[in-house]
Amino acid sequence: MEIRKVISNKTDFMDILLVGDEDEAMINKYLGSSKLFALYDNNILTSICAVMEIDAETVEIKNLATYPEYQNKGYASKLLDYVCNRYKEKFRTVILGTGENDTTLNFYKKRGFVQTRRIKNFFTDNYSHPIVENGKQLVDMIYLIKSLT
C-alpha cells in the first residue's frame, strides 16, 4: 500500500470523493483549500481523504471515502491512521462531520473519535436532494472529535 499526497488536479478524484459526499457543489466548496491524500494498493486507487486546516490546533476531515468494492478491507482505517499521525506533531485535534449512520459513526468511534455536537437539518438544508445511507435519509450532521496528543 502507498499513500500519495495529491498536489494538483484534485478534481480528477471527483468520482471517489462523490462516494463520501454525494454533492459535487459541496465538495467544490472545500476541495481547493484541502490537502488530499490517496491510498493505492498495487497502484489501484482505493481510498481518498480530504483534510482542511481549521486553526492552529485543529484539522478537519472533510471527506474520507473508499470505493464500494474495496470497503471493509481496512483501507479507510489505514488512511485515517496516516492522516492522524501526519498531523499530530503540529495539531492537537482532528474533527469531522458525518451523517447519522450507525455504521459510519461506529467506524469513527472505534478509532477514538467521540461525538461533540449536532447540526440540526444540515443535510436537508444544504443538499439539493435527499441523502440516503443504509435506507435512512440523513438529516442532522454529527460532529466528532479526536485528540491527537
What is the total count of domains within the chain? 1
Compute the distance between CA of residue 46 and CA of residue 67 in angstroms, rounded to an integer: 6
pTM: 0.91
Query: Is a pLDDT exceeding 80 seen at residue 16?
Result: yes
pLDDT band at 134 (very low <50, low <70, confident <90, very high): confident
**What CATH code is carried by the domain that includes residue 27?**
3.40.630.30
Expressed as residue numbers, the domain containing 141 is 2-147
Mean pLDDT of the chain, nearest integer = 94
CA 3 to chain centre: 15
- pLDDT tens string 40-67: 999 999 999 999 999 999 999 999 999 9
- Mean pLDDT calculated for residue range 27-50: 97
Query: Is a pLDDT exceeding 90 seen at residue 77?
Result: yes
